[in-house]
Amino acid sequence: MKKRLASLLQKLGSSIPRANILSHDTHMRPYESDGLTLLKQIPLCVILPENEEQVQSVLRACYSLHISVVTRGAGTGLSGGATPTQEAVLLVMTKFNRILDVEASNGVACVQAGVRNLAISEAAAPYGLYYAPDPSSQVACSIGGNVAENAGGVHCLKYGLTVHNVLKVRVVLMNGEIVELGGLAPDAIGLDLLPAFIGSEGMLGVVTTVWVKLVPKPRHAAVILASFPTVQSAADAVANIIAQGLIPAGLEMMDAATTAAVESYLRIGYDLEAAALLLCESDGEPDVVAQEIEAMSSVLRASGASRLQVSKNESERLKFWAGRKAAFPAAARLMPDYYCMDGTIPRKNLAQMLQAIADMEHEFDLKCLNVFHAGDGNLHPLIMFDGQSEDSVQRAERFGAKILEACIALGGTITGEHGVGLEKINHMCMQFSDAERQAMWSLKSAFDPLRLLNPEKAIPTLHRCAEFGKMHVHHGEMPFPDLPRF
């Protein structure tokens, strides 16, 4: 490794300030993992470029020396997508933190990749605009990371994911070439590669600049906090709201364990007798909001809600949402280590999935808090474990793997918004056929023929799938012998 590092430093010459290159283990330790702290690795070195020319210099040098590169934003990802590889350069984009332009008349902001998600809305606020995707980590996560993972948030049901709100990206390829994907016109010229790039987890190129869509801040918003005596009735309410043609601005579910943890943390006033809580929001013009709140309240009551509270003002609306946003830190107060999963299932199977997870709690002797983007079936079970106990860690990993298997068995997917990274790469073998994965590799090879960008992530090889426990490859077919049956 020392020889490879010396060759790289010689190749870079004076193109990167030496203060921006970290190569001592002590200095690199803070970068050894992203939000998935179960997986850690010290890279070859850490480089913090300050401009696009420096990014090009790093990639060109690594390309010529066949050194892999892993790109990292704020490090808030939860799937190990930014976990370093031992002999790779970790390219940290936090110095790309400038908002370049807010074009209010066209509803567009141009920002560098390291700009925080929330900072975009703060810059657009004086114009009555904001950036809609709002992941729970929006105060810290970067827009470049959002692009890499196709991040969502509690309001993605109405406003869409990152892919629906990014218009254009400027990207440096592994060989140092710069390309721009997408455009500000309604229909960009050429192949529409932007949707393929968003969510590619740093495997295709390094984003330096992002053009995002800004939307007008709603004149009014209100949220219903609904209590349900059973998880099944809450799940039915979610399906019934969508079936009535109502599209809430946000539709979130918390189970009783999560509600108790959050209430102990923030004292929101949540109903601790409820088996499940729903947060159902409407935004827009005041009269439209009033009509939607009335319509949704009617559906919730008919679905068995035992208690309804409608926010009386903006302060109370934010208070109701604060609990949902604080589910992760509330979990951390109960146990210093938790494992946040991310899968999706059809909405109709929400109750079935929660029962399956409850059974898994007994099977693995671990507690689990459940929060859902209920409107689109994106679930985030928080598995509580003791990081000081190897046995507890292993049980948590098996628990998480079984949740992903259950998602597939119920007709869902292994990720909704956190990406695949290292965490779920084996389960890609279960979800996709050999032919489908080969198509993914073909796309990657078109951008990165040497496969140097974020290696060993997101797309498994046939060999890896063959070694994946319980799975057997036979003529490219992946059977599912041990999936849970519902």
Task: Show pLDDT as tens, one digit a residue, over the chain (486 residues).
Answer: 789 999 999 999 999 999 999 999 999 999 999 999 989 999 999 999 999 999 999 999 999 999 999 999 999 999 999 999 999 999 999 999 999 999 999 999 999 999 999 999 999 999 999 999 999 899 999 999 999 999 999 899 999 999 999 999 999 999 999 999 999 988 777 889 999 999 999 999 999 999 999 999 999 999 999 999 999 999 999 999 999 999 999 999 999 999 999 999 999 999 999 999 999 999 999 999 999 999 999 999 999 999 999 999 999 999 999 999 888 889 888 988 999 999 999 988 998 999 999 999 999 999 999 998 999 899 999 999 999 999 999 999 999 999 999 999 999 999 999 999 999 999 999 999 999 999 999 999 999 999 999 998 999 988 889 888 555 443 344 343 343 333
Between the CA of residue 400 and those of 164, 184, 404, 427, what are the distances in Å?
29, 40, 6, 11
Quote the pLDDT of residue 190.
82
Quote the pLDDT of residue 469.
55
Identify which of 398, 399, 403, 458 has the alpha carbon closest to the alpha carbon of residue 425: 458
DSSP H or E run through 215: strand 215-216
| Residue 325: CA count within 13 A, CB half-sphere | 17
Identify which of 221, 193, 206 has the alpha carbon closest to the alpha carbon of residue 130: 221
Look at the domain 99-216 and name its fold: 3.30.465
Quote the pLDDT of residue 476.
41
Quote the pLDDT of residue 136.
86
Does the pTM surpass 0.85? The reply is: yes
Tell which CATH classification among 3.30.559.10, 3.40.50.720, 3.30.70.3450, 1.10.3720.10 matches the domain 220-327: 3.30.70.3450
Q: Where in the chain is the domain with CATH 3.30.43.10?
A: 2-92
Query: Would you state the structure tokens that stand for residue 436, as one six-digit string?
Result: 């489908």
| Residue 220: CA count within 13 A, CB half-sphere | 13
Alpha-carbon dihedral sign for residues 402, 155, 93, 338: negative
Q: What are phi and psi of 338, to 5 degrees?
A: -145, 155
Quote the pLDDT of residue 186.
81
Q: Cβ(381)–Cβ(359) under 8 Å?
A: no
Quote the pLDDT of residue 44.
97
Within 284-349, residue ranges assigned H as helices are 286-302, 314-325, 327-334
Domain 2-92 matching CATH 1.10.3720.10: the answer reads no
Considering the domain 335-486, what is its CATH architecture?
A: 2-Layer Sandwich (3.30)
Buried b (16+ CB within 10 A) or exposed e, 26-35: eebeebbbbb
Residue 172's DSSP bridge partners are 178, 206
